[in-house]
Structure 1
Amino acid sequence: MSTPKIRIRGLSKAFGSKVVLDGIDLDVETGTSMVIIGGSGSGKSVLLRCILGLIEPDAGTIEIDGENVLTAPRGRQEILRRQIGMLFQNAALFDSMSVADNIAFGLRAKHSDRDGPVPSRSKARELAGGILQQVGLDPSVGQLSPSELSGGMQKRVGLARAIAGQPNILFFDEPTTGLDPIMGAVIDGLIVDCVQKLGSTAIAITHDMASAQRIGNQAAMLYQGKLVWQGLAADLMNSGNAMVDQFTHGRREGPITMELRK
């Protein structure tokens, strides 16, 4: 069997008495698009942040290409994580930069020594025009500031920045949040096209079941910090698992109960 692109074993994280991740085991094979679903507070975002190195887990291992990122030397950790491109929930563009400079930042940040000399800012801005075209935007959009863009255009620019360095791994945090159904479908289509063109391995977290089935070929569900189901994304609406069925169909009655904040 081939080594998974990402292998997670026994991953745990708590904030005080609140256990957010409770012994997660997950394999994401190379070239797979994995969608992770679950309610608010189920641990989806914390899982991504642990892989990205933004949060340090309390226990467990995270391997990329068979190498444990958590125990690797800092320089090696940076090299392994440089493979990752990220589309944040609200695009998270730099307001002080033009669209072209935002994409150029992503291009330069993901550059490694093996790619040759780091492109100059002017060269990176020039390349940004071609990357904008990959997400369905005219190169002239590069001259605008993020504040001049609609929500859908901001998502496209965020996607352009994420793919600028041609990453082997792509993460998507609620990619259709705040978009109407048509624009959501457009963004999903662009995500699928970009992932396939790059040959990347992808992980997306989402509450949008239509989006989950468009983006993913594999799926998993988190509930109370545990992985309660894994299967085909095509089976999300008919999984045979009571928790998944309640969540995907939005049923009030079932094994999932809403926790009241004290």
Structure 2
Amino acid sequence: MSDATPKIRIRGLKKAFGPKVVLDGVDLDVMGGTSFVVIGGSGTGKSVLLRCILGLITPDAGSIEIDGVDVTTLSSRQREPYMARIGMLFQNGALFDSLSVWENVTFGLVAAARAGHGPRITRAQARVRAGALLEQVGMDPAVGALSPSELSGGMQKRVGLARAIAARPEILFFDEPTTGLDPIMGAVIDGLIADCVRKLGSTAIAITHDMASAQRIGDRVGMLYEGRLIWQGPPSTLFDSGNPVVDQFTHGRREGPIKIDVRS
């Protein structure tokens, strides 16, 4: 892969569910070691875009290249090595209630080892590794002994982040990382995300409708609207984009080109 080849390159990506067209020709380049944030309203296809890249949804058309290889043409087995290089922070944490915090953090490492896709790791080693990862996201290693139900929403997000970075992934995805958090905790999570991405040298894609979050974690931002990325630019121009759709969304205006059907 040359330096000019994007880490992730998407061209003409389309996906519909019956008559509902969700993605209608998405084009996106994300260079290695950078963070790209996708903004857009609810139901505009942000999560569908991530799921297509992850291989959880099969697109109807288009290509998704990772390091120059179109992963949509690969079989499930051929795709596994590419997916193993991806870490994911889910919107609601997605922690396993039946496992302790430390078991959640190292779940992927242990699963990979058992499947023969990663180095062997004992439970004692996994617990030590979990403690180090919890410290990396600003938590006391002793939290590892707790269950997810004993944690606040912000703490669960940090545990989810620790799990996402456990295998030192080349690519990180963040699905609405600040949803459900107060503004201060949202800023804390965004700071941790930015620090982790920088330290790992990872390439990141985040989806959000939180403009403050987009500005804190993105090197570039794009808006998804009517199935396409209609605008891209640096986060510093979010509130002065010159695009009427983006301006209405970022300023939260009721009037504008975005029409919302509100029925009494």
- TM-score bin, normalised by smaller chain: over 0.9
- Range that drifts further, 16-25 or 111-120: 111-120
Q: Are the counterparts in 2 of residues 86 and 172 from structure 1 also a CA contact under 8 Å? A: yes
1:84 aligns with 2:94: no
Partner of 1:131: 133
Specify the code of the residue in structure 2 equivalent to 1:136.
G
- Range that drifts further, 71-80 or 112-121: 112-121
Partner of 1:229: 231
Secondary structure of 1:70's counterpart equals helix
Give, in whole Å, the separation in 2 of the partners of 1:221 and 1:145.
37
Specify the code of the residue in structure 1 equivalent to 2:61.
A
TM-score of the superposed pair, with normalisation by structure 1 = 0.95
Question: CA RMSD, aligned part only?
Answer: 1.8
Q: 1:58 to 1:136 in 2, by over 3 A?
A: same
Instruction: Report matched runs for 1:41-52 at 5 Å.
Output: 41-52=43-54
Q: Are the counterparts in 2 of residues 83 and 110 from structure 1 also a CA contact under 8 Å? A: no
Q: How far 1:126 moved relative to its partner?
A: 1.7
Give, in whole Å, the separation in 2 of the partners of 1:190 and 1:234.
20
CA deviations over 1:15-36 (Å, ceiling 9, x no partner): 0000000011111111111000
- Range that drifts further, 71-80 or 25-34: 71-80
Of residues 61, 65, 68, the one that matches 1:66 is 68
- Range that drifts further, 69-78 or 127-136: 69-78
Partner of 2:219: 217
For structure 1, which runs of at least 5 residues remain unmatched after alignment?
Answer: none
Q: Are the counterparts in 2 of residues 107 and 161 from structure 1 also a CA contact under 8 Å? A: no
Q: How far 1:116 moved relative to its partner?
A: 6.0
Give, in whole Å, the separation in 2 of the partners of 1:110 and 1:218.
33
Q: Are the counterparts in 2 of residues 11 and 24 from structure 1 also a CA contact under 8 Å? A: yes
1:19 aligns with 2:2: no
Q: Are the counterparts in 2 of residues 111 and 165 from structure 1 also a CA contact under 8 Å? A: no
- Range that drifts further, 210-219 or 103-112: 103-112
Indicate the percent of aligned positions where both proteins have the same amino acid.
71
Q: How far 1:114 moved relative to its partner?
A: 10
CA deviations over 1:72-97 (Å, ceiling 9, x no partner): 23222010111110000010000000
Secondary structure of 2:106's counterpart equals helix
Partner of 2:248: 246
Q: How far 1:123 moved relative to its partner?
A: 1.5
Q: How far 1:125 moved relative to its partner?
A: 1.8
Of residues 43, 56, 59, the one that matches 1:57 is 59
Q: How far 1:108 moved relative to its partner?
A: 3.1
1:98 aligns with 2:100: yes
Partner of 2:12: 10
Give, in whole Å, the separation in 1 of the partners of 2:181 and 2:226.
28
Partner of 1:161: 163
Q: How far 1:119 moved relative to its partner?
A: 1.6
- Range that drifts further, 149-158 or 75-84: 75-84
CA deviations over 1:97-120 (Å, ceiling 9, x no partner): 000000110333466999863322
Specify the code of the residue in structure 2 equivalent to 1:155.
K
Give, in whole Å, the separation in 2 of the partners of 1:37 and 1:51.
17
Q: Are the counterparts in 2 of residues 217 and 234 from structure 1 also a CA contact under 8 Å? A: no
Q: How far 1:136 moved relative to its partner?
A: 0.2
Q: Are the counterparts in 2 of residues 95 and 147 from structure 1 also a CA contact under 8 Å? A: yes
- Range that drifts further, 226-235 or 167-176: 226-235
Give, in whole Å, the separation in 2 of the partners of 1:122 and 1:12.
46
Q: 1:63 to 1:110 in 2, by over 3 A?
A: farther
Q: 1:110 to 1:9 in 2, by over 3 A?
A: farther
- Range that drifts further, 55-64 or 69-78: 69-78
Secondary structure of 1:141's counterpart equals helix
TM-score of the superposed pair, with normalisation by structure 2 = 0.95
Number of residue pairs aligned between Structure 1 and Structure 2: 261
Partner of 1:31: 33
Give, in whole Å, the separation in 2 of the partners of 1:113 and 1:238.
50
Give, in whole Å, the separation in 2 of the partners of 1:180 and 1:192.
18
For structure 2, which runs of at least 5 residues remain unmatched after alignment?
Answer: none
Give, in whole Å, the separation in 1 of the partners of 2:246 and 2:120.
46
